[in-house]
Structure 1
Amino acid sequence: MTRGRTDIDAEIAEAAIAWLVRLQGEAVTERDWLDFDAWMTASPDHAQAYDAVLAFDHQLYLDAGLAETQPEPAPLMTSGSAKVIPLRPARRAWFWSAGAAIAAAFVAGAVLVPSKGLMGGRETTYVTGVGERRTIALEDGSRIDMNSASRVTVRFERHARRIEMGDAQAFFDVAKDPSRPFLISAGDTQVRVVGTQFDVRHRDGLVAVNVQRGLVEVRPHLAADAAPFRLKPGQGLVHHEGQAADARLSTVAVDEVAGWRQGRLIYRDQPLSQIAGDMNRLFPRPVKLGDAEAANMRLSGVLIVDEQDAMVDRLSHLLPVRTTTTKDAIVIQAR
């Protein structure tokens, strides 16, 4: 097994251990998560120390599991024939009580952590067709609600839960697990959470993230040393792939995040080309835009998802367009 050393300040290592204990407690609060987020972003050394503590904790978990598979040692007998059974110390109880010693070991470079290349895991790809929605219940208690015509790949590893989004939109309800962050790749954008609810849309070279609950870290196509965006409930971020400086924050209504789950398509100054694309993922008969003027029209409003003809008719009342229905398509043009 290939492993690497890590040299970490003892005080930072102790703080990382304390955070892991605190976040795994049953009484953890939203304030704790906010404070943890502030601590993690205060210095790159904090994130390095926390990752090293996680790796060491997982190694103890593996060692404990191996010990439990070994045969019990023969009981010791006293003169009164009473059995004295050796007790295995609780792994985490020992780990946390030995925090100072472990921190010192980090500083000395004596703690070995598994290299990233050793991560294993099962990989599963989920796909929805045109007009199909699907809910995926993951083994960690998380849930993914997939919108129509979406492709999502899930891979659970020892230290992380990884999601790869192709052309897709999905709402994530992530179970809290500070020892395994939930990492999403959507084009050139990375999303990192521990436990929260949020929506990610990756369509046509555009990535949009909207948060309903918790904290969500979003890293668009940025320089390696650039700070990521950290979104709170009611915040969203939109980014065009390949454009490093275009990421912009916005305010969103919490109850409107992932409105598509309730059969509502909510648009805030969105082009008709995007709306037509959304409709083409809902219905087999394609909607086509007949001219550039129509494609560039923008809409702010709500479309109820029901019959395709009814939705197109509503568009003609919201925008200055006319529609022509043929056997093979619905064509929208500017009036």
Structure 2
Amino acid sequence: MTRSQTDIDAEKAEAEIADAAIDWLVRLQGGVVTERDWLDFDAWLTASPAHARAYDAVLAFDRRLDFDARFDAHFDAHGAQTAPVDALAASSAGRVVRLRPARRVWIWSAGAAIAAAFVAGAVLLPSSGLIGAHETTYATGVGERRTIVLEDGSRIEMNAASRLTVRFERHARRVRLDDAQAFFDVAKDSSRPFLVSAGDTQVRVVGTQFDVRRRDGQVAVKVQRGLVEVSPDLPRDAAPFRLRPGQGLSYREGRAADASLQAVAVEEVAGWRQGRLIYRDQPLSQIAGDMNRLFPRPVRLGDAQTANMRLSGVLIVDEQDAMVDRLSHLLPVRTTTTKDAIVIRAR
């Protein structure tokens, strides 16, 4: 039976879309990807549902190649297993893998096969269940820090006494911060934006590094790398803030109208992860709260005057008594230490 010209044209169009999807995968997993690249890719991806289906198909094929290569590497020349396959599968599932040069050549040579399989409907797209539409809550205790590696390769470093919830969906990766501070190193995946909810604020990224703090009704976002879109609870017609490296945004929940961009140094973004608490005109009540998340013996403030004292400076995180002693040299306060608490009062 002779195929009609319409069928031939349709197959050709689908093959061209599949080829474009392969081009985007190779380009986005290359060594240097600019903001313009991501904006162009987002425009291409959202231009047609067929583009998203094709990119999903190519991404699934790429993940399968990586898994097969890792699987083969866990057996010697005689077929003997050299590492547990279950552990291999667990570490590889759902992870976006950068194309190494040899695999990049392979996926280019395999382009015709992928396109043909896509046109024929033979490529199985990952279902929402495989991608992991599930919710997991993580928490750290007083004085505890934790690093989480998510199934897409993103990393979250949690500060002490923090609680957050992660949910991966078909078209989005979501994190909800309760009382928490965390640093995010997000794996690039334009088909699934990474969304962080912190009280009445939503942070949206594709792939970048940034810090979010939600403590005592105060929200702060600081960017180390990439572009971050921050949407406080503003009127519907208000544009979101777009933060670049070296910029931050902070405000009190319920008072988003007071939010404004600020310049932040890179070392300030990395401060708590490197054992330094960096403050810019912050009240002593916040500093005491931070110390209470680091040590089991509570720090208490004697009165409102003491709580409202402001500090600009750096506190090195080491022993609690040493930190309190340094604090008394930075502010006009005196401390009284008992076995149950450390009380700070104005001099």
Q: Contact 2:302–2:345 (CA<8 Å) still a contact in 1?
A: yes
Decide which of 143, 149, 163 is 2:155's aligned counterpart: 143
User: Secondary structure of 1:158's partner?
Assistant: coil
Q: Are residues 1:249 and 2:273 paired?
A: no
What is aligned with 1:195?
207
Q: Contact 2:54–2:118 (CA<8 Å) still a contact in 1?
A: no
Decide which of 316, 319, 323 is 1:311's aligned counterpart: 323
- CA offsets per residue over residues 97-135 of structure 1, 9 Å max, x none? xxxxxxxxxxxxxxxxxxx9xx97021111000000001
Decide which of 299, 303, 310 is 2:311's aligned counterpart: 299
Q: What is the CA RMSD across the aligned residues, in angstroms?
A: 3.3
Distance 2:178 2:293 in 1: 14
The runs of 4+ residues in structure 1 deviating greater than 6 Å are 17-20, 61-64, 92-95
Q: Which runs of 5+ in 2 are unaligned?
A: 1-18, 62-110, 120-127
Decide which of 217, 225, 232 is 1:213's aligned counterpart: 225
What is aligned with 1:321?
333
Decide which of 129, 144, 158 is 1:132's aligned counterpart: 144
User: Secondary structure of 2:256's partner?
Assistant: coil
Greater fraction of residues in helix? 2
Distance 2:184 2:46 in 1: 28
Change (3 A) 1:47 1:170: farther
Distance 1:311 1:159 in 2: 45
Change (3 A) 1:194 1:290: same
More moved, 316-325 vs 221-230 = 221-230
Distance 2:293 2:303 in 1: 21
Structure with bigger RCO (C-alpha 8 Å, 6+ apart):
1
Decide which of 277, 281, 287 is 1:269's aligned counterpart: 281
Q: What amino acid maps onto 1:90 in structure 2? A: I
| Shift of residue 224, structure 1, vs aligned partner | 2.5
Greater fraction of residues in strand? 1
Decide which of 157, 181, 191 is 1:169's aligned counterpart: 181
Q: Are residues 1:90 and 2:118 paired?
A: no
Distance 2:60 2:31 in 1: 27
Distance 1:324 1:57 in 2: 66
User: Secondary structure of 2:195's partner?
Assistant: strand
Q: Contact 1:162–1:183 (CA<8 Å) still a contact in 2?
A: yes
Q: Contact 1:208–1:238 (CA<8 Å) still a contact in 2?
A: yes
Q: Contact 1:30–1:214 (CA<8 Å) still a contact in 2?
A: no
User: Secondary structure of 1:261's partner?
Assistant: helix
Change (3 A) 1:19 1:304: farther
Distance 1:53 1:180 in 2: 16
Aligned residues: 272
Q: What amino acid maps onto 2:161 in structure 1? A: A
User: Secondary structure of 2:294's partner?
Assistant: coil
Distance 1:22 1:333 in 2: 60
User: Secondary structure of 1:280's partner?
Assistant: helix
Distance 2:334 2:222 in 1: 32
User: Secondary structure of 2:291's partner?
Assistant: helix
Distance 1:268 1:321 in 2: 18
Distance 2:315 2:235 in 1: 38
What is aligned with 1:100?
none
Q: Contact 1:235–1:249 (CA<8 Å) still a contact in 2?
A: yes
Decide which of 190, 206, 227 is 2:239's aligned counterpart: 227
What is aligned with 1:102?
none
Distance 1:275 1:224 in 2: 35
